[in-house]
Structure 1
Amino acid sequence: MTKYREILRLHSLGFSQQNIAYSCSVSKKTVNRVIQKANEIAISWPLDDNQTDEVLAGILFPAKGRRSDTANRGLPDLNHIRKELLRNGVSKKLLWTEYMEDCRLNGEEALMYSQFCYHIQQDEQKRRATMHINRKPGEQVEVDWAGDPAYITDPDTGEIIKAYIFVGVMTYSQYTYAEAFINEKQQAWITAHVHMYEYFDGVAKIVVPDNCKTAVVHSGDWYDQRVNSVYHEMSAHYGAAIIPARVRKPKDKPNAEGNVSHVSTWITAALRNEQFFSLAELNAAIREKLKKFNANLFQKKEGSRLSLFLEEEKPLLAPLPATRYELADWKQATVQFNYHISIDGMLYSVPYEYIKRKVDVRVTDKSIEIFYNHTRIASHPRLYGRKGLVDIEYSSRKNNRLRRLIRNAEFDQPEASVMDIDYTSGRKLNKSLIQRLATCEYITEHRNLFITGATGSGKSYMACALGMCVFRNIRTAIPETSGHETGSIRTLCRLN
């Protein structure tokens, strides 16, 4: 079925009809008809969750019938025709006459000459030579896994472990990102994209991945490709469209293919004589080589990948969202008679109307979302601890622990909140940066935070507000908070 919702979503983001057609595996004419019809009856994004593709099909095209013009017609053997046309004296007219005779003997309805030639033309276009395509700055990024792996040595056993290198390339400037992972599974694939966007400090509108299972659900047909649900969810979070490369068509992502070779030479091979005992050590060395690689001058034009990216491409990238994408795992559960479901041994309540119904559960490190027929019916914070813990009991324990930590921290301003910070123009505060700091990601990444400014500018209030965020995100920010760590947070919030 046509992806009506996806077409309207991408149109609202300002994508061209051609790019929407590529992303949704439909013709540009179909995209144009859907957008025109939606404008006529005043349908626009965002849509309600109950407005599925099937519902939209009935609204946009209520009298749409199925085309059956060529359903009972015999199609020509294009491989045979292509070979016959290479012979002297053989023309399309002659082959069409022979084709009509074959259809008459087989009792099939033949195509008219114009349609016969159309099918031959479409077959020829698939085999035409390609030409260089000029890309717009900030429009597209191509991603792939490098063919040659790096290696890590296990410090305990001495075992040599492969590390697979992810490569992302901005198609206009050739600015490259690379990072090593232990495997090429879904979590590594999504994490690599999140880190890539943060390295670029922006988002390109289009992502062109390889035809791998972590990106595309394989169906054997280019026009029926479906983007992996987790990958699509990640692209929607960053406001990007995914246009996968076709199977065995490396020219669909030539920049990634070319830079994979460069990364294998100037990074992987350059590190071949060094020994690494952890993934962090390997990625630190890759990052140093990557800086030099991007700073190298082009051979046939002025500048470098880095200079071209900073001057012409980075200003046109879409800004990063306030929070990074959190990888989710989808599970299915049955609501029991106690109106709870069990996820990893923890119990989560569901409205009693759904007892004995199967529900879909979206699981992240921080939250549990429960859906029935694509409608969210409940949401809970993720529980950790002994098995069988119920959400109400967990919330009570968490609130008691939060009050105890705040009391022991002895904040000067315990009522401070990030939500109450004044962002008036005179203070020159970066709201998106403060919101990202409020997620406490800098702690999990082992980074320090220093707040500087003139006396009376509100440093103490901001420090206390960010300290409160640490306690409220205590499970993900500091898994096991000791008295020493609480004292460190107290000391930080008292600094001027």
Structure 2
Amino acid sequence: MPAKRELTMRQLRYLLRLHHDGVSAREIGRLLGVARSTIQDNLKRAASAGLEWPLPEEATDEVLELRLFGRAGIAPGQRRRVEPDWAALARELKRPGVSMTILWEEYREAHPGGYGYSRFCDLLRGFERRLTPVMRQNHVAGDKVFVDYSGKRIGIVDPGTGEIREAEIFVAVLGASNLTYAEATWTQQLADWTGAHVRMFRFFGGAPRLLVPDNLKSGVNKASFYDPEINRTYGAMAAHYSIGVLPARPYKPRDKAKVEAGVRFAQSWILGRLRQQTFFSLAECNAAIALAMQRMNERPMRKLGVSRRELFEQIERAALQRLPADDWEFAEWRRARVNLDYHIGVHDFLYSVPYTLIRAEVDVRVTARMIEIFHRGARVGVHQRRYLGARHGTDPDHMPASHRHYADWTPERFRRWASKVGPNTEGLIAAVLASRKHPEQGFRTCLGILKLYRGVDPERAETVSARALELGALASNAISSLLASKRGKPAAKDGAQSTLFDHANLRGPGYYH
């Protein structure tokens, strides 16, 4: 195999002269800017060729080249060995389990006089470096998918108002085959971001081993080279598909060169070729993008001679993981504290948890259909999500026996507290408790009313309570409005102290025993 020469002939002459003058190999390497091992290698070649300083007059550069490296007479770019199909080898290298050693062994079986292993690897790597930036990194089939949002947007016209709203462009590129998926979403928020991933997996028909996103906040809460903090919902989506998340390093564009090149290429196919079209809905826009992506994926890649779709079918489809039976469903996570009525509030509706968790903090997973409640990692409650109807969703298993198996808060305590203000206030609190299917569901309303009365003159509070009972206003916001408007009739026109009266919502003292 011809030797690889790292020094010019002028440098080789200078090397021989310095060596003749007694300069060490380390110092010669420092002067020439190369490693000492390179100097020693060339000195061994010179000794083997019988070359010493001073060189004979007939030792031209061509003669020295021939004696030292055996390359004289070979035209630039010309090789003596049989050349394999480098493009085909580059494609084969992307198959799982295929290495350069295997490809070289197969090459030498077909061409026994071909390149040695090291030269073969150098030439194959050189071919890969000459490919487009999308192909520079060596990606194994089924290993990674690179995802990101394009910095450019596409306009969509509101057919009713004519207003143009710009949509984001999501782009994903498979590492080995470069098969590209793109779609438009209204925002880069978590629901749109994860939804685009679900549709991407469906398009590929499988999932690779790793997701490589940019450090978008919807995917990565905290960017870090050593320990990136993945968004909880994004991590749950990845776990559903048994796929890991490996964010690109901050400010390291080479980590995401695949998707960056894919984004640029997709932009030309989407924004460039669709610029003359007007879209009136997101669905219409995505239909056009899907057609553009189909044409792009079926277009042959110049260096490899096959299209992205063909390469995907050949080497990557079989390497992808199978998708789960059901698509992942977007879920919102939030923290909540259990109220005194053993309910938590989610989007203006109340859902029960076991009464033993009163005042505890819980994690809530909110989907379009379900409300799941977790405490210290264990699920303690699940409810069908409410959009209409009764405000409370109460699981009977969450209630305390007889509704009063805890001592801190009871209907009697609220009535005693209210009686310190006056009989009308006590009647109002009793009416609030009686108006609920379960008295505990009225605890928070009672707390709100009594809190509003703090610092208010008792006579004024009694007047407002009497007026509220007349109107049937049994909510804290109604009491707040009565206090703010300074409306309400006196408790008794003759100045006598009013007494608690019968009311349709009162169940009587026997209800609480």
Which residue of 1 is the match for residue 386 of structure 2? 383
| Residue 391 to residue 352, structure 1, CA distance change in 2 (3 Å) | closer
CA contact (8 A) 1:137 1:313 kept: yes
Which residue of 2 is the match for residue 301 of structure 1? 304
Question: Once the 2 structures are TM-superposed, how far is the Cα of residue 140 of structure 1 from its aligned partner?
Answer: 0.7
Q: Could you tell me which amino acid in structure 2 is paired with residue 295 of structure 1?
A: E
SS of the aligned residue for 1:293 comes to helix
Question: Once the 2 structures are TM-superposed, how far is the Cα of residue 206 of structure 1 from its aligned partner?
Answer: 0.5
Which residue of 2 is the match for residue 469 of structure 1? none
Distance (Å, rounded) in 2 between the aligned partners of 1:383 and 1:148? 38
Which residue of 2 is the match for residue 153 of structure 1? 157
Which residue of 2 is the match for residue 290 of structure 1? 293
Distance (Å, rounded) in 2 between the aligned partners of 1:156 and 1:280? 16
Question: Once the 2 structures are TM-superposed, how far is the Cα of residue 298 of structure 1 from its aligned partner?
Answer: 1.1
Distance (Å, rounded) in 1 between the aligned partners of 2:188 and 2:348? 28
Question: Once the 2 structures are TM-superposed, how far is the Cα of residue 387 of structure 1 from its aligned partner?
Answer: 4.9
Q: CA offsets, 1:234-263, max 9 Å, x none?
A: 111100011100112111011101010011
Question: Once the 2 structures are TM-superposed, how far is the Cα of residue 384 of structure 1 from its aligned partner?
Answer: 2.6
Which residue of 2 is the match for residue 138 of structure 1? 142
Question: Once the 2 structures are TM-superposed, how far is the Cα of residue 366 of structure 1 from its aligned partner?
Answer: 1.6
Establish whether residue 215 from structure 1 lines up as the match of residue 219 from structure 2.
yes
Establish whether residue 164 from structure 1 lines up as the match of residue 168 from structure 2.
yes
Equivalent pairs counted in the alignment come to 265
CA contact (8 A) 1:340 1:348 kept: yes
Q: Could you tell me which amino acid in structure 2 is paired with residue 171 of structure 1?
A: G
Establish whether residue 265 from structure 1 lines up as the match of residue 265 from structure 2.
no
Distance (Å, rounded) in 2 between the aligned partners of 1:266 and 1:344? 42
Distance (Å, rounded) in 2 between the aligned partners of 1:256 and 1:238? 21
Distance (Å, rounded) in 1 between the aligned partners of 2:139 and 2:337? 49
Which residue of 1 is the match for residue 336 of structure 2? 333
Question: Once the 2 structures are TM-superposed, how far is the Cα of residue 338 of structure 1 from its aligned partner?
Answer: 2.6
Distance (Å, rounded) in 1 between the aligned partners of 2:344 and 2:218? 28
SS of the aligned residue for 1:222 comes to coil
Which residue of 2 is the match for residue 324 of structure 1? 327
Question: Once the 2 structures are TM-superposed, how far is the Cα of residue 332 of structure 1 from its aligned partner?
Answer: 2.1
Distance (Å, rounded) in 2 between the aligned partners of 1:390 and 1:167? 41
Q: CA offsets, 1:410-438, max 9 Å, x none?
A: xxxxxxxxxxxxxxxxxxxxxxxxxxxxx
Distance (Å, rounded) in 1 between the aligned partners of 2:394 and 2:205? 37
Establish whether residue 374 from structure 1 lines up as the match of residue 382 from structure 2.
no
Q: In the alignment, which of 339, 342, 350 is matched to residue 353 of structure 2?
A: 350
Which residue of 1 is the match for residue 284 of structure 2? 281
SS of the aligned residue for 1:199 comes to helix
Q: Could you tell me which amino acid in structure 1 is paired with residue 323 of structure 2?
A: L
Q: Could you tell me which amino acid in structure 2 is paired with residue 304 of structure 1?
A: S
Distance (Å, rounded) in 2 between the aligned partners of 1:312 and 1:350? 51
Distance (Å, rounded) in 1 between the aligned partners of 2:140 and 2:276? 39
What is the TM-score normalised by the length of structure 2? 0.50
Distance (Å, rounded) in 2 between the aligned partners of 1:277 and 1:309? 33
Which residue of 2 is the match for residue 199 of structure 1? 203
Q: Could you tell me which amino acid in structure 1 is paired with residue 150 of structure 2?
A: A
Q: Could you tell me which amino acid in structure 2 is paired with residue 262 of structure 1?
A: F
SS of the aligned residue for 2:188 comes to coil
Distance (Å, rounded) in 2 between the aligned partners of 1:318 and 1:391? 41
Q: CA offsets, 1:284-311, max 9 Å, x none?
A: 1001111111000111112100011112
CA RMSD of aligned residues (A): 2.0
Distance (Å, rounded) in 2 between the aligned partners of 1:134 and 1:333? 47
Distance (Å, rounded) in 1 between the aligned partners of 2:296 and 2:140? 22
Which residue of 2 is the match for residue 188 of structure 1? 192
CA contact (8 A) 2:383 2:393 kept: no
Q: Could you tell me which amino acid in structure 2 is paired with residue 363 of structure 1?
A: V
SS of the aligned residue for 1:148 comes to strand
Question: Once the 2 structures are TM-superposed, how far is the Cα of residue 275 of structure 1 from its aligned partner?
Answer: 0.4
Which residue of 2 is the match for residue 53 of structure 1? none
Structure 2 regions of 5+ residues with no counterpart? 1-29, 32-127, 130-135, 397-513
CA contact (8 A) 1:383 1:391 kept: no
Question: Once the 2 structures are TM-superposed, how far is the Cα of residue 222 of structure 1 from its aligned partner?
Answer: 2.3
Question: Once the 2 structures are TM-superposed, how far is the Cα of residue 333 of structure 1 from its aligned partner?
Answer: 2.0
Q: CA offsets, 1:324-377, max 9 Å, x none?
A: 111111122222233222222323221111012121111111211111222221
| Residue 289 to residue 133, structure 1, CA distance change in 2 (3 Å) | closer
Structure 1 regions of 5+ residues with no counterpart? 1-86, 89-129, 394-496
Q: Could you tell me which amino acid in structure 2 is paired with residue 163 of structure 1?
A: A
Distance (Å, rounded) in 2 between the aligned partners of 1:325 and 1:299? 37
Q: Could you tell me which amino acid in structure 1 is paired with residue 296 of structure 2?
A: F
Question: Once the 2 structures are TM-superposed, how far is the Cα of residue 224 of structure 1 from its aligned partner?
Answer: 3.5
